[in-house]
């Protein structure tokens, strides 16, 4: 499961590798691509998205308050790398991004569950991790 912070210490085994359960709920992976290589540059910052996963989360009752009382949500996880190629300190915040879908949905990154991959890059620094977005709606067509 790419959404690593949702894993409990002991994960229950399921027959389907696309269905995983944790104390947060049941995640069913509906789409994944581990071979993305989308690159962008902004000044001295290089940014790469190298994998994406979309999954439907059936939220456990004990965690529904954390999701505005919703029983279901769609989780979109992007694996990314960021690099400052300069000796200068640069600020870059991909973990505060906004995602817009072709269905017209707009969601902000979940800064609490996403990895710490933003902020000040002091000199030639690299950061890598997951950016997680939660939509309160189920995406269609995956």
CA atoms of 56 and 131, how far apart (whole Å): 16
* Main-chain phi, psi angles of 62, to 5 degrees: -65, -15
pLDDT tens figures, 83-109: 999 999 999 999 999 998 777 889 999
For the full predicted model, state whether its pTM sits above 0.95. Answer: no
DSSP 74-132: EEEEEEEEEEE-SSS-EEE-GGG-EEE-TTS-EEEB-TTTS-S--EEE-SS-EEEEEEE
Mean pLDDT in residue range 60-66: 89
Phi-psi region of 122 (alpha: psi -120 to 50; beta: other; left: phi over 0): beta
Is 69's pLDDT higher than 80? yes
Q: Structural domains in the chain? A: 4-135 (2.60.40.4170)
């Amino acid at each position: 499961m790419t959404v690593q912070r949702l894993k409990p210490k002991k994960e229950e085994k399921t027959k389907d590798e696309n269905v995983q359960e944790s104390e947060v709920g049941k995640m069913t992976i509906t789409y994944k691509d581990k071979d993305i290589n989308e690159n962008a540059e902004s000044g001295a910052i290089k940014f790469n998205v190298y994998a994406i996963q979309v999954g439907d989360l059936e939220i456990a009752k004990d965690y529904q308050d954390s999701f505005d009382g919703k029983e279901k949500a769609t989780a979109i996880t992007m694996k990314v790398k960021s690099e400052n190629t300069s000796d200068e300190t640069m600020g870059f915040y991909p973990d505060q991004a906004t995602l817009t879908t072709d269905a017209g949905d707009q969601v902000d990154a979940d800064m609490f569950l996403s990895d710490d991959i933003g902020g000040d890059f002091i000199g030639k620094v690299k950061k890598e991790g997951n950016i997680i977005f939660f939509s309160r709606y189920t995406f269609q067509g995956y």
